[in-house]
Structure 1
Amino acid sequence: MAETTPLWYRRMTSRTSDERHRAATPLELFFDLCFVVAVAQAGSKLHHALSENHVGHGVLSYLAVFFAIWWAWMNFTWFASAYDTDDGVYRITTLVQIAGALIVAAGVPRAFDSADYGVVTFGYVLMRLAMIFQWLRAAHGDPEHRPVALRYALGVFLVQLGWVARLALPEKVFLPAFAFLVVCELAVPAWAERRNPTAWHPHHIAERYGLFTLIVLGESVLAATLAIQTALDSGQAGAGLFSLAGAGLVIVFSMWWIYFDKPAHALLTSQGTALRWGYGHYLVLASAAGVGAGLAVSVDYDAHQAHISGTVAGFATAVPVAVFLVSVWFLMVCPHLRGPVAAAMPVTACLVLATPFTGAPVHVIAGLLVVLVAVLVVDSRRTRLLA
């Protein structure tokens, strides 16, 4: 177990997967908070792109930038679960990754406004090079997992060469090149962990993902709040703005309730299920942040500051909410539940996608999620009584 006061350099050995009282460290929490700066930038630019009716470009740019943020965060999280030595070198290397995340955040406006991904790529590669150094430390200090660590270091290095080379390609091949490199990134852990996998901690991983989801949901509340403040300051806000704000809060509160309704650590029983669970959180986190952008778009529409129809404004919230429901259902509900209660979530997601045609999509979505939460609460109570 890592000591409270770190030495400057400690041999990096594997931590055990059944370590007692394993909790997120202050450095990990600081890491999350700094990464959310980049999430906030991406959500803000998505909000403005949707309000200006640049839907296709805004969504594609958001998904690309969010991948860089999420993938760097996820790789550090799983590595730290297995190899957090908390010595001076480890801390400095982690701070370098945080600096890379802030560079990514600084490059988000260029990526959205002019499709210039140079700054984002530089920040991303800096984060990934720091991870290569961490894996090389693990290879040196943990002979049992040395092949795994070296495969990680090699795989990450080769993909970073690809990201740098992609900057020299013409814009017309951006999407194919990006998709190819994403597949390569996703393949590295599956390849590296195929034999004698690293000893990540299920409770620690579940806590880390839960904490980051909390922060992202909080960022969604902040994004909607800032949009409401802007509308109030402009003097163009209508009487319905406050009810819209209330409905938005109900949506985010319900998303929190739904995500944390069932414990997650019990789902992480094998390397395959862990990879599926970890990868699937791209949709969970991207949609959670996207809800904040969607609510901000609805505020813009209500204040007559958006250049889109009411239907499009409704979809800006409905689509990320539906994606959130389906992804949480697939990752965290299906393994626990079967039958009508398990079907309630995808059914609600389908109903949410129909709300833009109701004339009050945010309010109807809020009502649907309240009903869904009530169904989950009743089912949980029934399960406890039968246990």
Structure 2
Amino acid sequence: MTGQRGGALLRTTSSAERATFLELFFDLVFVFALTRVSQRLVADVDGAQMTTGVLRTLLLFLVLWHVWTITTWVTSRYEPERVVIQAVVVGVMFGSLVLGVTLPRALEERALAFALAYVVIMVGRPLVLVVALRGHPRRMVPVRLTGWAAATAPLWLVGALVPDLRLPLWVAALAADYLGAFLGWPLPRIGPSRIRSWLVAGEHLAERYQQIFLIALGESILVIGVSYSGERFSGRSAAAFALAFGVTALLWRLYFHRAGHLLAEALRLAGTPGRLAESAARTHLFMVLGVLTAAVGYELVIAHPHEDADPRWLVFVVGGPALFLAARSRFEYEIFGRVSRSRLIGLAALVLVAPVLTTGPAVLALGVVAGVLALVALADARRAQGAPPESSASPVGREALGEAGPEA
């Protein structure tokens, strides 16, 4: 009887594939949290050691991404309309809000609050599922997650309490958390449960990845609006404002043109959908990071449209869209098994033109980026014109489920 009650938490073939309103509510926290990431990156540009500052902010972003990703996999495996699952999501939502609030000073005086919020999320979420799934064989998956989270928790807490050891301990702890997810959180005697062998709700996962990408675009729109509203209006600042919006719209177009729409189909057709979903999660990490990096560039250009482009600014103005294009090329391969030549040419053009852009105004650099992305989008449109819509032909996850091993 206990196992039956626990089994009622699992998704079935009759479960709704669409993301629930609770999940959309949960995502609102990440709109706020991602703005904290971009604001910290802007501060890093003005710092004496920009590279170190950016890497420290990247660490904090990866914490947020890990929380969002694991929560998404939870709602894809378990029935999100169940009260227990809703309580888990709301609890993680509050913890994520604490992470966002403390993030600007998470490596300084707010380190303990940041670490405590993360540890409570990572230990508490699977622990609740262990109790709720009592008597059901699937409970061994959250048992593994609880064990790994408990093992890395001391590193987070000691790092928060000892400033001199904070950065190395947190890097080690986060690396262990990501390694655990990659290996399937193996524990002595019970082994791993690799994500690629999980039975997943493909349409649900595809929609969630699309939504986190749209959240990153929404954060960009927020940055553009807030930056421009706080500046004195001028011809160049207006041009920077319009170009920043144009780049954001092009990123949306380039993401959703075919591949972004076909992720659900690719997951449905894959022999091991978990393998494709695992790969797509990593790809979306870099696409979202590219969008956030570009948003920092927007703010810098809107604030300094008359100044020559600082080489440090180009890391964001050009580097963000270039990172997006590189990740989007990988995404295209995941869905179609090939990469469009136009994307590779666009990526090469951004890399090659970046050194030249230091001799002109910042708004010119943003205009060049918009031009390159527009040409890639135009090439997509021309290739699709008059041709039948492409179907997914993903080379990722072609193996039969039996070859991937049973789900634990």
Residue 6 of structure 1: aligned partner: none
Deviation, structure 1 residue 25 = 0.2
1:184 counterpart = 2:176: yes
1:41 counterpart = 2:24: no
Residue 131 of structure 1: aligned partner: 125
SS of the residue aligned with 2:17?
coil
Distance in 2 (alpha carbons) for counterparts of 1:280 and 1:385 = 23
1:62-141 correspondence runs (5 A): 62-111=57-106, 114=108, 117-137=111-131, 139-140=133-134
1:159-174 correspondence runs (5 A): 159-171=152-164, 173-174=165-166
Of residues 382, 391, 407, the one that matches 1:378 is: 382
Q: Deviations over 1:46-76 (max 9, x none)?
A: 1233245652243123211111111101000
Distance 1:43 1:126, change over 3 A: same
Is the Cα–Cα contact under 8 Å of residues 46 and 59 in structure 1 kept in the other structure?
A: yes
SS of the residue aligned with 2:199?
coil
1:288 counterpart = 2:291: yes
Deviation, structure 1 residue 12 = 4.5
1:228 counterpart = 2:221: no
TM-score, L = length of structure 1: 0.85
1:273-352 correspondence runs (5 A): 273-302=276-305, 310-333=310-333, 335-336=335-336, 338=338, 342-352=340-350
Q: Deviations over 1:332-355 (max 9, x none)?
A: 3454153xx623213212322323
Residue 210 of structure 1: aligned partner: 210
Deviation, structure 1 residue 197 = 4.0
Distance in 2 (alpha carbons) for counterparts of 1:376 and 1:53 = 41
Is the Cα–Cα contact under 8 Å of residues 315 and 356 in structure 1 kept in the other structure?
A: no
Of residues 361, 365, 370, the one that matches 1:361 is: 365
Distance in 2 (alpha carbons) for counterparts of 1:117 and 1:80 = 29
Distance 1:126 1:303, change over 3 A: farther
Distance 1:334 1:128, change over 3 A: closer
Distance in 2 (alpha carbons) for counterparts of 1:201 and 1:118 = 36
Q: Deviations over 1:215-259 (max 9, x none)?
A: 210111111221111112xxxx54211111111111111111111
Is the Cα–Cα contact under 8 Å of residues 44 and 223 in structure 1 kept in the other structure?
A: no
CA RMSD of aligned residues (A): 2.7
Unaligned runs of 5+ in 1: 1-8
Deviation, structure 1 residue 267 = 3.8
Give aligned-pair identity as a percent.
20
Distance 1:361 1:43, change over 3 A: same
1:199 counterpart = 2:199: yes
Distance in 1 (alpha carbons) for counterparts of 2:284 and 2:150 = 24
Distance 1:195 1:289, change over 3 A: closer
Is the Cα–Cα contact under 8 Å of residues 79 and 200 in structure 1 kept in the other structure?
A: no
Q: Which amino acid aligns with 1:346?
A: L
Is the Cα–Cα contact under 8 Å of residues 6 and 132 in structure 2 kept in the other structure?
A: no
- What is the number of residues matched between the two proteins? 366
Residue 152 of structure 1: aligned partner: 145
Residue 244 of structure 1: aligned partner: 240
SS of the residue aligned with 1:104?
helix
Is the Cα–Cα contact under 8 Å of residues 31 and 218 in structure 2 kept in the other structure?
A: no
Distance 1:56 1:124, change over 3 A: same
Q: Which amino acid aligns with 2:115?
A: T
SS of the residue aligned with 1:205?
helix
Distance 1:134 1:327, change over 3 A: farther
Is the Cα–Cα contact under 8 Å of residues 83 and 138 in structure 1 kept in the other structure?
A: no
Distance in 1 (alpha carbons) for counterparts of 2:88 and 2:7 = 15
Is the Cα–Cα contact under 8 Å of residues 236 and 306 in structure 2 kept in the other structure?
A: no
TM-score, L = length of structure 2: 0.81
Distance in 2 (alpha carbons) for counterparts of 1:386 and 1:188 = 36
Distance 1:24 1:85, change over 3 A: closer
Distance in 2 (alpha carbons) for counterparts of 1:342 and 1:142 = 46
1:237-276 correspondence runs (5 A): 237-261=233-257, 262=259, 263-268=262-267, 269=270, 270=272, 271-276=274-279
Unaligned runs of 5+ in 2: 185-191, 392-408
